[in-house]
Structure 1
Amino acid sequence: MGSQPSKPVETKVFTPKTQVDFSSTLLAQLEQSTEGDYARQQVASKYLEQRVSDRLSQLEEETLKKFEDKLNTSLLSDNNQSNQEVSSQALSDKISHLNKRLNKIKENQAKKVANKDLKESKENLVKCLRDNEGQPLNCFEEVRNFKKLALAQ
């Protein structure tokens, strides 16, 4: 049942209206060719993969170059304006300046939290939220008090 096709295979032969002559070398080459549709598809997909890979590497190089240029201009803008060379001393000075600014911000935040009323309000809010887990609207009054004190600072 499965060894023979259910319908006989018909072979159709088309005859052209004009005479077609192929060279004997072309016919011999076609007969000897072991390349099929699958092999051609693999060659085509390999070609496309190579082109995509080349384009991606080109885009990657362009992006890295733009990033480096932008990084250099943003980090070293002070040095570029005064036409000085970049040095490790200049960079360490800049880093220490930024660290001082961060420390000042932390100190200011610590002063705000140190306020007794604000601290008590925060503790009340946290306690209420823990007591009413899943029902934060029950702590509306505490939230309003905390917000009022925080904005006053």
Structure 2
Amino acid sequence: MMGSNQSTLSDHHVFQSGQGQIGFNLMNSLQQSPESDSTRERLASLDIQKRVKDELQRLQNKEDQISKSTDERIAKESTEGSQIGRDSVARSISTLSQKLRNQSGSIDQSEVVKNAETAVVRCLRLNDRRPLDCWREVEEFKREVARLENAFVGKVVGDV
């Protein structure tokens, strides 16, 4: 009968071609190696970790070098440019803050702004179901408030 003989698998395979012999030798050396798969895997993992660590260190060194050169360039430009120091900027900020605190209570609405506000309120009450009809009054109010703000800022900043 055909197929009645079962083929048996032997423990060793012999390959005839040159490439097969290399594969067999490699398999033989791996099987006889005292290292297990987990050991080889651990060694490969350690090698990868070392290469990643080395690359991170190289990048860190490069970043430090760029940062240092940038700091040196900024320091050089600041000494060559205007001599505005931290203290003078802090004094200017302090002076402006003090002026704003002193004048914050003294903002007077001009008569024009009060009239514009009254016109907006009156229009919204008359057109309570159609508030979009009051756009002219709202625009006039915005213009007057902007004018008042600009005058205030000019007064505060102009005193510096």
TM-score by length of 1: 0.48
Larger radius of gyration: 2
**Higher relative contact order (Cα pairs below 8 Å, separated by 6+ residues):** 2
TM-score by length of 2: 0.46
